[in-house]
Structure formats: C-alpha cells, structure tokens
Amino acid sequence: MPEGLSFRSTAATVLAYAVAMAYLESAVVVYLTLALGGQVGELFPLRPAFETGDLIAIEVGREAATLVMIAAAGLLAGRTSLERLAWAAVVFGAWDIGYYAWLNVFSGWPPSLATTDLLFLIPVPWVGPVWSPVAVSVALVGVGLVAARMIRSGRAVALSGRHWAAGIGGGLLVIISYTLDAGRVIDGGLPGPYPWPVFAGGMLLALAAAVHALRNARRTP
C-alpha cells in the first residue's frame, strides 16, 4: 500500500479485496460442483481418490495458493512485520466469512451455521460446523483491525514468548478439534460429533493472549 494511505483507506481496500476473493472462490466451487454432477454441500462420505483422480491434488494446490494470496495482501498492506500479520488476519477472516455468505447467496448452502463442512485438506481433512470457522474469522478480523489501528497510530504492540505460546497453543487446539475425525473421514466414514469444548478452550486461550497484548500496548515516542 502507498505510504500515505490512511488506516481507513487501507482497511477498506483490504476488506474489498477479501470480499472479492471470497466471491471468486465460492463461484468456482459452485461451477465445479455442478460440472462434476454433484450438489453444493454434498461432501460426506468423501469420494474415493480413484473417482476424483488428480482433483484432490489440484484442490490442495488451490488451498495453498489461497494462503499465498492472503499472505501477499498482508505483506503489501502492512508497514511492519506485526502490522502485516494483522492485515493478513483481517484478509483471512473476511475472506472466510464472505465465502460462506456468497455460497449461501448462490446455492442456499449452508442452510444453517450448524451445517458440517469440509474446511481444509492440508495435511489431512479438517471437519467442523460452519459456525466454528466463522467464529475464528470474526475474531481474526476484530483483533487484526484493532492491532493494525494501534500500530498505525504509533502504539507499540509487544508480543512476549508467553503471548506467542498461548496464541500458537490455542490455534493448535482449534486445529485438533477439526482433525480428530480425519482418519474416519479419509476411510469414507461420516464425521462424529464435533468436540466443541476443545475448540472453545483453544479460542479462549488465543483470544486471552491477544487481548492481553493489545491492552498493554504502549505509545512510542
């Protein structure tokens, strides 16, 4: 982003990019699903690898490419390493929320936030109700915007080793909640009940670390 771009202009640009990115991805999902003779949201049991051929590898590549796009947007929008991380979090969260919103507009799916979705494939299938990634995304957008605004206004947000440990540990708990049923899903079975207490514990741990770091931000001379 240009050096003179204000926080509001940067935020508007980043959010517009994320919403457009979400539109594109949801449209592609609808096109491909219908072209392959399926129905949007028809996920489980997973199709055997021999039926999809190289599509699994292509899908994994698409997900990796999405992460590169998110990281690139954060890198261009921020001026420091921490601000870039904050903007990347905003892009990720807004993109994920927008993806489900556009998908619902295009196809009526998901019918509710309790609908189970296949969230990710790297390195194993991630499965969970739609409300859970949306909750993560709301937190990412909120924390990311607050952090970016503080940094732009001249406040120093310092992350200690404990902050990083709590944030990474919380994130790992969230990932574990999505991947506990990976073996069953890979074998063609249906996912079991979602372990939401594991998810809640991870979210609380990561949010507590973020809030503590932001509340202790100091204005730089």
In the chain, where the domains are located: 7-219
- Note the pLDDT of residue 171: 97
DSSP bridge pairs for 127: 118
- Note the pLDDT of residue 1: 47
Place of tokens 């490419």: 65
- What's the pLDDT tens digit per position in 160-169? 999 999 999 9
Tell me, rounded to whole angstroms, the distance of Cα 90 from its chain centroid: 9
Output the CA angle 98-104-105, nearest 5 degrees.
90
Give the pLDDT of the chain (221 residues) as one tens digit per residue.
445 678 999 999 999 999 999 999 999 889 888 887 777 767 765 665 444 556 777 878 888 999 999 999 999 999 999 999 999 999 999 999 999 999 999 999 999 999 999 998 888 889 999 999 999 999 999 999 999 999 999 888 889 999 999 999 999 999 999 999 998 888 888 889 999 999 999 999 999 999 999 998 876 55
Residues 95/166/206/26 CA torsion (nearest 10 deg): 20
- pTM equals 0.90
- What's the pLDDT tens digit per position in 45-72? 566 544 455 677 787 888 899 999 999 9
